[in-house]
Structure 1
Amino acid sequence: MGVSKIGILGAGTMGSGIAIASAARGIAVTLYDVTESQLAKAKGEAATFFGRAVDKGRMSAADSDAAQARVATSGALQDLAEADLLIEAVFEDFDLKARTLEALSPVARPDALIATNTSCLKVSDLAQHVAAPERFLGLHYFSPAQINPLVEVVRGDATGDATIAEALAFCEATGKKPLLCKDHFGFAVNRFFCPYTNEASRCVDDGLGTPVQIDRVAQEALGVAAGPFFVQNIIKPRINLHAVRNLKPLGPFYAPADYLTKAGEAEESFDLGTDPGPDPTRDRPIAERLLGATFLPVLEELDEDVAGPGDIDMGAEVALRFGRQPCELMDSLGRAEVERLVRPLAERYGVALPESLARVGSLRG
């Protein structure tokens, strides 16, 4: 079929980012929202983005004007009826997404693809609220969607092969790097990113360090461009808390830390403060906790065949800017060291050591 026109439901941060990314690559976009001010804000963000592209010499003024013209806004669902692909991008709440999809289904063309931009919820559960589940899948864009190249392409239980093929082609046509993964809570990347950020808060709860100290240790241990608290202040602790809570069905290891819960519920940012500087005695336990909390969910998702080691590492590098990717890092450390890091968390939360632990040393082949 090919995708030349898309409809996006929700003109918030993710919806507007997806619209900008798609319009920049020649796709006609209709952005829907029930709030007129939100639509106006999204149009302003598109104008700012393309205007800066001109200022930096990345786009001509004519191309900028054409890209902005490709972003239409509407408060009427019926205006999405001709879209080849419809992307639901409302707040990460199951009931809200379900109601949105139920309202969308009668409007969509019978041959149109319908996608959810959920970051953690199961696509197969949401598919029960879509008229044609074989045409439904997950397209999880990473923030900021207008810049971040990764999109997780999630196959639900009923998703058809043709739907996946069309979605992969759309991602590539719009300059995105698709990561095909199995439908499970957290998918391939948030499955370990959420526990990693959550463990950072647990380190604060346990008195191991301050946010700025933990950020520095994370940069050293995982080669990340920015530590977990700095990143959460960008995406907002409230948003990350909601994503962590959506992993609750996976067990107690995934339950949110008190420090994250307090910041998220208060809609506050983390106070980074001043770093006292390196202290090997204090830093080492933090590094080991962060590494263990990253490795355990990666090994679990390998057991569940959510994604392969190469794709998981690609997601960590492309979406999260991990300089040291989880599977490659585990291979370099070896099975004994990885087990030493993972076992305390497995015992603390009553989970079995993943079977994939036996493959450490040759995960990447």
Structure 2
Amino acid sequence: MMINKAAVVGAGLMGSGIARHMASHGIQVTLVDNNEEQLARAARVNENSDLQYTSDMTAINAVDYVIEAVFEDPDVKRQVLSQISSAVSPDCLIASNTSSLLIGDLEKAVTNPNRFIGVHYNNPADMNPVVEVIPSDHTETHYTDAILKWMKSAEKLAVKCKDTPCFILNRQSLPYINEASRCLNIASPGEVDSVVKNRLGIGLGPFAVMNLVGLPVMAAASCNLEVLGRGYRAAPELQERSRLNSPDWDIEEVGDVSKDKTSAIVKRLRGAMIFPGKDILAQALCSRDDLHLICKEALGYDKSSPELLEMFEPAVTTELLEVYLSHQ
């Protein structure tokens, strides 16, 4: 199939980024949202992009492809997917940008679920090079192939993933994000981010990442990962801050962080990087090369989890994992 006309449902930060990316690569894009104020904000942000805007779902009846990018709530997404199914043609490719919900569960809201697929962009959607493509057991191959082919033409690094909780990107990254939140028992957000940048060589610290993506999004995705058990538990510090609708983390400027504090943060966060990577590879959820690509290109890690597993002696890996799991 060819993708010439598309729609993005949800005009927030993620939806706008997806729409910009598609429009910049020759697709006629309509951005849909039932909130007129949200649409107006999106129009201002995207004033230099060739996009159409509407609050009328029936206006997308002639598109080839539509992706929902609404809030990470299963009930909200199912409702929107049902509305999309009613508005588009029977063979229109429908996608969800969910970061953590199972595609096999969401597809129940879609008529003709053989044309439904997960397409997970990472913020900022128009700039981050990696996109996860997640077919369900019912997705027909030609739809999957069409998305993979288009992503390649649109300069994205598409990684085909199995339909498992949080897929690969968030399964790898959320334990690290949650452990950074747990490190508040020994350090401030500014100290943690400083250690990450200066000792681990990662340009954007975990608290800066949380502020960029949004605490509610991070908190919701973390809860969806808990089904995997120990090692994937959500940090109470992040959940509480999100529940209270608190503002972004205050990432203060810091000087030198003490040697003991730095050592503890490094060990805990290295363990949090290694743990999910080891698990992903053991279960063959994706290839070593694809996991490396996600770590380096999407998450900006200095060393990918496969590299860390290859770099450290087994005894060191065991120690780091024990340190990480001791805080679960």
**TM-score range relative to shorter protein:** over 0.9
Q: Does 1:14 align with 2:17?
A: no
Equivalent position amino acid for 1:120 in 2: S
Counterpart check, 1:321 vs 2:300: yes
CA distance in 1, matches of 2:61, 2:284: 36
Aligned to 2:123: 143
Shift of 1:73: 1.1
SS in 1 for 2:231: helix
Matched, 1:292 2:263: no
C-alpha separation between the residues in 2 aligned to 1:216 and 1:231?
13
Q: Provide the secondary structure at the position in 2 that maps to 1:159.
A: coil
Distance 2:107 2:241 in 1: 32
Residue identity matched to 2:219: L
Residue 228 (structure 1) aligned with residue 206 (structure 2) = yes
Query: In the TM superposition, what are the counterparts of 1:206-221 in structure 2 within 5 Å?
Result: 207-221=185-199
**Which whole-Å deviations, capped at 9, do the CAs of 1:306-343 have from their partners, x for residues lacking one?**
21121111112111211221111221113221122113
Matched residue, 1:39:
39
Alignment of 1:65-76 (within 5 A): 68-69=49-50, 71-76=51-56
**Could you say what secondary structure the match of 2:86 adopts?**
coil
Q: Structure 2: which amino acid aligns with 1:11?
A: A
Match of 1:307 among 271, 274, 286: 286
Match of 1:146, SS state, is: coil
Q: Read off the aligned partner of 1:10 and give its amino acid letter.
A: G
Paired amino acid for 1:148: N
**Residue 165 of structure 1: aligned partner:** 145
SS in 2 for 1:154: strand
Q: 1:54-133 alignment to 2 at 5 Å?
A: 68-69=49-50, 71-133=51-113
Deviations 1:3-22 (A, max 9, x none): 11111111111111111111
Aligned partners of 1:220 and 1:181: how far apart in 2?
32
- For residues 339 and 127 of structure 1, the distance between their equivalents in structure 2, rounded to whole angstroms, comes to 40
Contact persistence 1:6–1:30 (CA under 8 A): yes
Gaps of 5+ in 2: none
The amino acid that maps onto 1:174 is: A
Report the alpha carbon displacement of residue 270 of structure 1 after superposing the two structures with TM: 1.1
- Note if 1:190 corresponds to 2:170: yes
Matched residue type, 1:324: K
Alpha-carbon RMSD across the aligned residues, in angstroms, is: 1.6
Q: Comparing 191-200 with 104-113, which one deviates more in the overlay?
A: 104-113
CA contact (8 A) 1:4 1:27 kept: yes
Q: TM-score, normalised to structure 1's length?
A: 0.85
Deviation at 1:346, TM superposition (A): 4.3
Shift of 1:174: 2.1
Measured after TM superposition, the shift of residue 23 of structure 1 is 0.5
- Provide the rounded CA distance (Å) in 2 between the counterparts of 1:194 and 1:279: 26
Partner of 1:254: 232
Q: Deviations over 1:51-86 (max 9, x none)?
A: xxxxxxxxxxxxxxxxx33x1111111111111111
User: Are the equivalent residues in 2 in contact too, given 1:182–1:305 (CA < 8 A)?
Assistant: no
Q: CA deviation at 1:219?
A: 2.4
How far off its partner does 1:288 sit? 0.8
Deviations 1:103-152 (A, max 9, x none): 21122222211100001111111111111222111100111112112111
Tell me the SS of whatever aligns to 1:105: helix
Structure 1 segments unaligned to the other structure (5+ residues):
51-67, 350-365
**C-alpha distance 13-243 of structure 1, shift in aligned 2 (>3 A):** same
1:201, CA displacement in angstroms? 0.9
1:348-363 pair list within 5 angstroms: 349=328
Inter-partner Cα distance in structure 2 for 1:144 and 1:223: 21
What is the identity percentage for the equivalent residue pairs of Structure 1 and Structure 2? 34
SS of the aligned residue for 2:17 comes to helix
- Does structure 2 retain, via aligned residues, the 8 Å contact 1:153–1:179? yes
**Amino acid across the alignment from 2:216:** R
